[in-house]
Each structure stands twice: as C-alpha cells, then as structure tokens.
Structure 1
Amino acid sequence: MELGVLLWMVLTLMGSTTAQHDQYSGAVDWLSRYGYLPRPDPRTSKLLTKEGIENAIRVMQRFGGVQETGVLDSATLKLMSTPRCSLPDIIGSEDMMKRRRRRKRYALSGLKWHKTDLTWSVHSYPSPSTSPGLHNNLVDNILTYAFKAWSNAAPLRFNQVARGSRAEGDIRVSFSQLLHNDGYPFDGRGGTLAHAFFPFTGDLAGDTHFDDDEVWSYGGGSSSTDLFTVAVHEFGHALGLSHSSSDPSIMRPYYQGPVGDIINFELALDDRLAIQQLYGVKDDNQ
C-alpha cells in the first residue's frame, strides 16, 4: 500500500514537472513570436538566460497591463491565451522599446502611405459554413465603417474597388486559413485572429488578413468574434500604427470585444493622436 502511494506521488510529480516544462516552453515561444525575446542563436552564442526570460515577462506584463511579477502567474498565462493580433508588440531595438514604455503612448511603425486617397478591395469573404451570419454585403458595410473610424480622425479617404473588378485596392482584404504564404500562418479557431502589413513598397503593403477559422460576427458574442473591432485594429496597422500599451486604445494587441454602435464609434484619444501624427488633423470642412 505504501509502495503504491509512493509510486502515485512520483508519477504525479513527474506529470506536473512535464506540464510545467511544456507551459514554460510555450511561454518562451510566445514571447519570441511577439517581440519580447530574441530568437536563440547557438552559432553566435545568443542563448536565452533565466534573467532574460524574466525580464521579457516583466516587459510583457507591463505592456499588457497586468501586475509586473516576472513570473508566469495565472494573470499572465490568461493574457497569453487571449485571442489577439498576429503582429509583434515590440518592433525595433531594445532602446526604442524602453522609450515607448516610458512615454506610455501610441507607437508608430515609421511607415505611412504617401497619399491620403486610398482604395480597398475584398479578395475573399468569410466562409458561410464558419460565419453563417455574415453575408458579403454586410462584410462590406462593416469594413466601410471600420475605415470610417480612421477617416473621421484624419484627412483620409477610402473607396472600395467594385467587387469583381480586375483592379486591386491599396489595402487588400482576405479571409484565409492556416498557411497562406505571408509568413504569419493562422492557428485555427482562437489564438491569432488577424494581421495586417504596414505601408511600404513591397507586394504585401496594406494587406489585411483575417483567420477564416474564426466565427466572425456583427456584434460579437460569447462564441464569436466581432469583425468590426478587429478590422479597425488591423486597418490601423495597414495605415502605419504599431501596437499600443495604452488603455483604452483600439491598437492594444488583444481582442477587446464588440464596441457597440459601429456607426457612431469614435477612436480613443491615443489612437486619434497616433493617426494624426502620421496624416495630420482633419479639417472640419473635410
């Protein structure tokens, strides 16, 4: 009997240790994916240290607005499991990262469109089997109001390219699954929701991709994801904004739920200042 109890304790401890190792390993991958940790490189002796990982956790906690402990506590693990944008939170050098943390404000990618009249096009829509409540016209309307959130704050104009036209918009929208040839594969339902590429001269400039495995909806809900909220966030990237640690801000990397009335939605001050820093302040007559 005592031997059986001892064996049960050993096996339980081994299982717990394995689970903790898997959890820790998954967290390191997460921190690397979103810019908090450099990728280890044995060729240059750039290996991850315990102190480096703890510091990365602290930066992640500070950026995400949870208590800064440097350990993988329950609040941190919960935040790591929250659905979010695929793009990294930290872009640039460690010095730039420190300056952004001190300022506690919006972050710019350093890239912008050199025009204010932009076109957009939809190249694929949500699958009816996954998001049955979103017909194509409703998707177009939701995306139109998502663009309007930015044009209400800055002198920008967005025009949709007619569906079926051979012309492509400056900002190209699509709903894709898993690997879709852009370096940011989706991961099925939950996890990463969408991503967009900053303005630049490459082929992917402005491209905005939504994970078609998600259940997209108008208004969100307990088992679906609000398309409008995510679209406003991703279009911010397509216009040149990075992730923000400010609260409230639509550019926080984590899914924040539906905003309510999309017709009268207004950006938070942080987001208005960010887009105006890039494109100027909208004149009342515009």
Structure 2
Amino acid sequence: MEPKFLHLLSCIILLLLLLLNPFSLFTHANSPHHHHQLNTQKPSPMNFLKTLIGARKGTTSKGISQLKKYLSHFGYMNRNNNTTPTHQTDDFFDDNLELAVKSYQTFFKLAVNGIMDANTVAKMSRPRCGVPDFGLNRSDQLYLRIPTLASHYTFFPGEPKWPATKRSLTYSFPPGERSDVNQAILHASQIWANVSPFRFSYIPNYDQADIKISFQYRDHGDGFPFDGPGGILAHAFAPTDGRLHYDGDERWVDGVTPGAFDLQTVGLHELGHVLGLGHTTDGGAVMNPYIGAGIRKFLGQDDINGIKALYHF
C-alpha cells in the first residue's frame, strides 16, 4: 500500500504546483521576459519620411507637418516666417517648405529640385547630430549663397568661442555614468588637443567641470529632446556652455561594432561643437552632421581648417 500512497501524494503535490503557478512547466523561450527581449527593436522616428517620396509643392500628404518640424529644427526654415502663416504646422507642401527643401539639398550637394526625391529622403533618414546646421534666424535665401562659399566648415551664429584666457578645459561625467565613455572622451579630447591650442583634463567634480558629459533620454529639460533609437544621436552647446549629451536610447560602444554607434566618433564631433564649430558639408570631416553606425571617424582637413579659422592660430 505504501507505494500507492506515495504515488498519490506525488500527484497531489504536482497538481498543487500547477494550480499555484500554471506557467511553471513552460520553457524559458516562451516566458514573458524572453518575449520582451525579442521585441526591444523600436521603429526609427524617421520612418515617416518613407511615405513622402515624390512629395512636392502643392501636394498634401500625411507626414509633411513632421517634415516641417524636422527642417525647422535644423535651421532650414523659419518657424516665424509671416509670409505663410497658415501652413506652418499642417500637411500642405507650400512655398516655404519648397525653399527649405532646396536649401537642404544645396547644403548636402543633392539635386536641387525642391522635391522629396529618393536621395533626399535617404539622406534625411540617416542618424545625425541634433545641433542645427544653421541658426533658426538665418535668411531664407542663404541656400543661394552656399555654393559660393570657399570653405565647408561653419560656426555658430555670432561665432561664440572660449575666451583667450581659457585654453585648459576640464571635463567630467555625473556619478554612476557608464564607464566605457571615459576612455572614448579621453581619446577624442586628445585628438582635438593635437590640432588646437586647447588642453583637456578629467576632474571628478561634475558640477565644477567646464564640459559636462552625460547620457540623457527623450525630453531631458534643455529644450532639445531626444527622439529614441535611430534619429538624433547626440547634441552639444556652443561655448561657453559646455554641455554634451548622448542619447541614452541608442546602442553605444567604444569601438567599431555593426549596428552600434562609436562613443569616440560622436564624442569627437560633439566636442567640436563645444569648441565652437558648426556643421560642415564635407562628408569626410567629423563635423559632418550625419554619423553612421559601425564606423570610426577622425578629424579631416576641413575640421582642422575650421578650428584654426575660429581661434586664429
């Protein structure tokens, strides 16, 4: 009788376990946690551009309002332009938007037709720095003068720079920040030091540093919110602000890894903004606003020419 009793007891225990946790016999592959891991890939915030291929003046299409917001943010159209007050935020492709698209196409050496053709959409869809390519208060006719510029590099409006008495800059990270960014910024700052009069040094006191480097998410209080994976990668402010922000939603590595962005390359670009450089049309320069995944870039001659022209050394 004892074996039958033990068998019955085992059945009762198993039944109780199933009642208490009905998922206990599921494999790990079917667990909610694993399912969540498989669905962490989020769509790019730039996907709206795919629906705009072929859009041109006079058309109405869903996503044009987002395109206006994109081009306004990066300095290609004036959000306070009173000549077209009724079409600033709607989905109508008006004259002001056509002018902005032409300005964008000219800056990046695309066919200047004012149409959202495949090459223009492909360019806009790439991950990039969040700093505007121009000041938002620029003349709408600037694009007509871009091809005559002798140099590619640009500066912030008003050419802000660090004072002549300030050539040693300190940098720091907030307590608990990821450690792989330390070496990346060390190397990036050394690269700028090799071609400029500046010297950089790390200090542990984040609040006292000239350059404050951190990872931020979405709306983080500086007026320039990040947009999640695949859109804006980072941004920094003109002298002598010193803030440099990486988008924490991106996949970051210190090195070259397919599908990930290099902390050193993006840091090198953003430090250029911290020193006062704007964006360049030169695709070989680190100050070009578009930064691909899985690559490492260094300074180009245009970057060096720009820093020399800004600080006259």
**Structure 2 counterparts to residues 212-231 of structure 1, below 5 A:** 212-231=248-267
Query: How far is the alpha carbon of 1:89 from its aligned partner?
Result: 0.8
Larger relative CO (CA 8 A, sep 6+): 1 or 2? Answer: 1
Distance in 2 (CA, whole Å) between partners of 1:257 and 1:196 is: 19
1:140 aligns with 2:182: yes
Distance in 1 (CA, whole Å) between partners of 2:279 and 2:94 is: 26
**Structure 2 counterparts to residues 80-95 of structure 1, below 5 A:** 80-91=124-135, 92-94=137-139
Q: Which letter maps to 1:113? A: W
1:75 to 119, 133, 151: 119
Q: Which letter maps to 2:191? A: A
Query: How far is the alpha carbon of 1:66 from its aligned partner?
Result: 2.4
Decide whether the 8 Å contact of 1:85 with 1:192 is kept in 2.
yes
User: Which stretches in structure 2 are left out of the alignment for 5+ residues?
Assistant: 1-54
Query: How far is the alpha carbon of 1:67 from its aligned partner?
Result: 2.4
1:232 to 259, 268, 288: 268
1:102 corresponding residue in structure 2: 148
**Structure 2 counterparts to residues 1-286 of structure 1, below 5 A:** 21-40=61-80, 45=85, 50-91=94-135, 92-94=137-139, 98-103=144-149, 104-109=151-156, 110-114=159-163, 115-123=166-174, 136=179, 138-162=180-204, 165=205, 167-200=207-240, 205-257=241-293, 259-260=295-296, 266-281=298-313
The 4+ residue runs of structure 1 with deviation greater than 4 A are 40-49, 95-101, 257-260
The alignment covers a number of residue pairs equal to 246
Q: 1:102 to 1:123 in 2, by over 3 A?
A: farther
Query: How far is the alpha carbon of 1:44 from its aligned partner?
Result: 9.0
Query: How far is the alpha carbon of 1:152 from its aligned partner?
Result: 0.9
User: Which stretches in structure 1 are left out of the alignment for 5+ residues?
Assistant: 1-16, 127-134, 282-286
Query: How far is the alpha carbon of 1:51 from its aligned partner?
Result: 2.6
With normalisation by structure 2, the TM-score equals 0.71
With normalisation by structure 1, the TM-score equals 0.77
Larger Rg: 2
Decide whether the 8 Å contact of 2:107 with 2:146 is kept in 1.
no
Secondary structure of the 1:89 match is coil
Query: How far is the alpha carbon of 1:56 from its aligned partner?
Result: 1.2
| CA RMSD, Structure 1 to Structure 2 (Å) | 2.8
Decide whether the 8 Å contact of 2:254 with 2:264 is kept in 1.
yes
